[in-house]
Chains A and B, each alone.
Chain A
Amino acid sequence: MTEATFTTGKGAQAPDPAAAPRDIRVWDPLVRLIHWSVAAGVFVNAAVTDPEKQPHELVGYAILALVLLRLVWGLMGPRPARFTSFPPNPLAALRHLWGLFHGARGVHLSHNPAGALMVYNLWATLIGMGATGIMMTTPRYFGIEWVEEAHEALFAWLMLSVALHIAGVLLDTALTRVNLVRAMLDGRKRLPPQGPAG
């Protein structure tokens, strides 16, 4: 257990355990189930249900429930799912993006700082959609123009956000060689050999 165990003394070489790919569990089943249910729900409400009919409202309620559930899980779930593992920090997000374009390839065991901002944005937008949607069905706000417009504007924002979200996932996957989509499907991030140095 001394320096002599190292055959090469150069650079930031990671020691043997990092010399093979490592699978690390990040996303628990609840996080994954919520994610794909929300994505499916948004797709259904955007493209399938008739906004004037009841199924649209039911699916909307379900999405809202899923997001609220995830927020509670963010307080009490396992490490990677907790808010404390991906605090909203615009400065860190900028630093992360800056680093990406200058060759840094840090792997994160929760959301990366830029992804974290996007995640909070997606949750807020979904809650906004649910709230304005419900308002439209109450006698008090029924037929009031700005509520309907807000619902539509939020939807446009949601679509833009989702497009950026998916682009970000693909970009991160291409750069760090850690398949994020696979991690959201089976829960595990496979870190490349030679532990990340960032």
Chain B
Amino acid sequence: MTQTPFRQTADGRRAIVLAAVIVLQAVTAVFFVGDVVSDFLHDGRLEDLHMWIEMLAALALAGGVAFLMLELRRVLTRLAALDRSMRAARGEMAEVIDGFFTEWNLTPSERDVALLVLKGIDNEAIAQMRGTAPGTVRAQCTSIYAKAGVDGRAQLFSVFMEELLAGES
């Protein structure tokens, strides 16, 4: 039931290394910018070639950090997707479902309701089981569909069917 620890997959290790490089470069970039600014405050002469070179270096560093952050985000997204299809292939649909719920940023109660929806239970029955008003469940469903980017129950099912079929191929 547990998710594979980060450091045990190639992409996971890549994410850790990227994070470390981002931190180092960001700190260095701030030192550079700080240095440029303080040089300028002490004897600010814009004709000074040295200062322009430092400024360029600082900009290049900052650009590098931004690029690495985009790359890290890509790796993390890929990791989440990979995790999902591995689990689908192993028949661990519960984890696949959890993965999607996290990606959609569902609150814990929305997760419970969404799970019951996926079980094919209607709103009325869900309200009864959870001891809430049917209106509450309807509102929660609306929020779930909005966060998942689907327009109803049927489409919500199809998201998971697709994953299941992809996992089997």
Contacts and interface: CB of A to CB of B under 8 A. Distances in A.
Contact of A66 (B26, B42, B94, B102): B26
Interface string B3-33: 1011000000001101110110011011100
A12 B26 contact: no
B154 interface: no
A70 to B, nearest CB: 10
B73 interface: yes
Contact of A196 (B77, B108, B116): B108
B27 A62 contact: yes
Interface in A110-164: 134, 137-140
Contacts of B20: 29, 33
Interface residues of B, number: 52
Contacts of B3: 23-25, 188
Contacts, number: 141
Contact of A29 (B15, B26, B66, B103): B15
A80 B101 CA distance: 12
Interface string A1-23: 11101100101111111101111
Interface string B57-80: 000000001100110110011001
Contacts of A25: 3, 80, 102
A105 to B, nearest CB: 10
A198 B102 contact: no
B22 A30 contact: yes
A86 to B, nearest CB: 11
Interface residues of A, number: 61
B120 interface: yes
Contact of A195 (B19, B41, B108, B121): B108
A13 to B, nearest CB: 7
B124 to A, nearest CB: 10
B6 A109 contact: no
A108 interface: yes
Given A9-B129, A22-B1, A197-B108, A17 B115 contact: yes
B135 interface: no
Contact of B1 (A23, A80, A138): A23
A173 interface: no
Contact of B2 (A23, A58, A64, A80): A23
Contacts of B23: 30, 33-34, 37, 66, 69
A96 interface: no
B73 A77 contact: yes
Given A23-B2, A25-B3, A30-B22, A12 B131 contact: yes
Contacts of A22: 1, 94-95, 98
Contact of B115 (A18, A24, A61, A188): A18
Given A26-B102, A66-B23, A197-B108, 20 more contacts: A1-B120, A3-B121, A12-B112, A12-B129, A14-B112, A14-B115, A22-B95, A24-B102, A25-B80, A25-B102, A30-B23, A32-B19, A64-B30, A78-B80, A85-B105, A106-B108, A139-B42, A187-B6, A188-B2, A197-B130
7 contacts: A18-B115, A22-B95, A24-B98, A58-B31, A69-B26, A196-B109, A197-B130
